[in-house]
Amino acid sequence: MLRKDGPMRIVVMVSGGGTNLQAIIDSVRDGQITNTEIAGVISNNKNAYALERARENNIPAMCISPKDYVSREEFNEKLLEAVNEFSPDLIVLAGFLVVIPPAMIERYRNRMINIHPSLIPSFCGKGYYGLKVHEAALKRGVKVVGATVHFVDEGTDTGPIILQKAVEVHSDDTPEALQRRVMEQAEWKILPRAIDLIANGKVYVADNRVIIRE
Ligand code: GRF
């Protein structure tokens, strides 16, 4: 990912409130993420508050919605075009709830990362997103949950794992309280850290596993 001619360019893809995007913006500003610039933010949801967060920070922001195209194929093409326009070195999926087109996975293999709100391989895969992840964890009665940053491959939450962080479950947790704690104590920490490690050439993939050399 290392550019010779300047900082690593990232595009952040969002669908919702954008608290992970905000953590990235704050970390770049505060120097926890170095050698990185946020080239753009793309959402499939024109009402995503994440777009507002981008605009407030003078980051180019756009909506590419499947609703605006006659077919999924056409949407997929337009989405990849919009991403390529930013010439990103790294794509960051931060709560992006749209299936990534296979052509995009191929083009950005090991250059596209995702944050998932569980300790993969628990509570992940099809149907496990947002609050559903935390509802399942509470239903199973696990005592520890957490978040995972991983490279994106053709599967759902199946790519090489980069970072994970554990979070304790409290006996009186509701799904909402648990989600918030996982975001505050895990997601908002490991996603910026993963970006900084990648931006500084410290992350390698071998045999589908990630090696971090600090
Ligand atoms: C986060 O919980 C993230 O783990 C999941 O989607 C949610 C996005 O939240 N992938 P936000 O839009 O970053 O606030």
Q: What is the pLDDT of residues 111-120, one digit of tens each?
A: 999 999 999 9
Band (3; pLDDT cuts 50, 70, 90): confident
Q: What is the pLDDT of residue 5?
A: 84
Does any ligand 1 atom lie closer than 6 A to the CB of residue 16? yes
- Does a structural domain hold residue 97? yes
- Does a structural domain hold residue 3? no
Does any ligand 1 atom lie closer than 6 A to the CB of residue 19? yes
Average pLDDT over residues 46-50: 98
Instruction: Find the 129 Cα to ligand 1 centroid distance in Å.
Output: 9
Does any ligand 1 atom lie closer than 6 A to the CB of residue 18? yes
- Does a structural domain hold residue 1? no
Does any ligand 1 atom lie closer than 6 A to the CB of residue 146? no
CATH classification of the domain holding 68: 3.40.50.170
- Cβ pair 212, 180 in contact under 8 A: no
- Does a structural domain hold residue 40? yes
Q: Which segments within the chain are labelled E, that is strand? A: 8-14, 36-43, 61-63, 90-93, 112-116, 144-151, 161-168, 203-206, 209-212
Mapped onto helix, strand or coil, the DSSP state of residue 78 is helix
- Does a structural domain hold residue 141? yes
Does any ligand 1 atom lie closer than 6 A to the CB of residue 157? no
- Does a structural domain hold residue 2? no
| Residue 116 known to be catalytic | yes
- Does a structural domain hold residue 85? yes
Q: Closest residue (by CA) to atom 3 of ligand 1?
A: 95
- Does a structural domain hold residue 133? yes
Average pLDDT over residues 35-53: 98
Q: Closest residue (by CA) to atom 11 of ligand 1?
A: 18
Whole domain around residue 129: which residue ranges?
A: 8-202
Q: What is the pLDDT of residue 1?
A: 60
* Tally of structural domains, the chain: 1
Q: What is the pLDDT of residues 120-164, one digit of tens each?
A: 999 999 999 999 999 999 999 999 999 999 999 999 999 999 999
Can you tell me which atom of ligand 1 is nearest the CA of 22? 13
Average pLDDT over residues 13-37: 98
